[in-house]
Amino acid sequence: MKEYEDRVDALFCAYIALYAFRWGMARCRVFGNFTEGYIFTRVPNNLQE
């Protein structure tokens, strides 16, 4: 199961990286900060400002 989870995690990270490369901060957000930790993720179109 661990190998499967690692592959799914790698695919999801690759998807987020490609999405960020394509859309940049127009459709992505960073929550948190470098010191305490952060997450970078896409924001669905219906939740954008």
d(CA 33, CA 13): 19
pLDDT tens digit sequence for 31-46: 999 899 999 888 877 6
The pLDDT confidence band at residue 49, using thresholds 50, 70 and 90, is: low
The pLDDT confidence band at residue 15, using thresholds 50, 70 and 90, is: very high
Q: What is the pLDDT of residue 44?
A: 77
Q: Rounded to the nearest 5°, which phi and psi values hold at 5?
A: -60, -40
The pTM is what?
0.69
3-state secondary structure of 27: coil
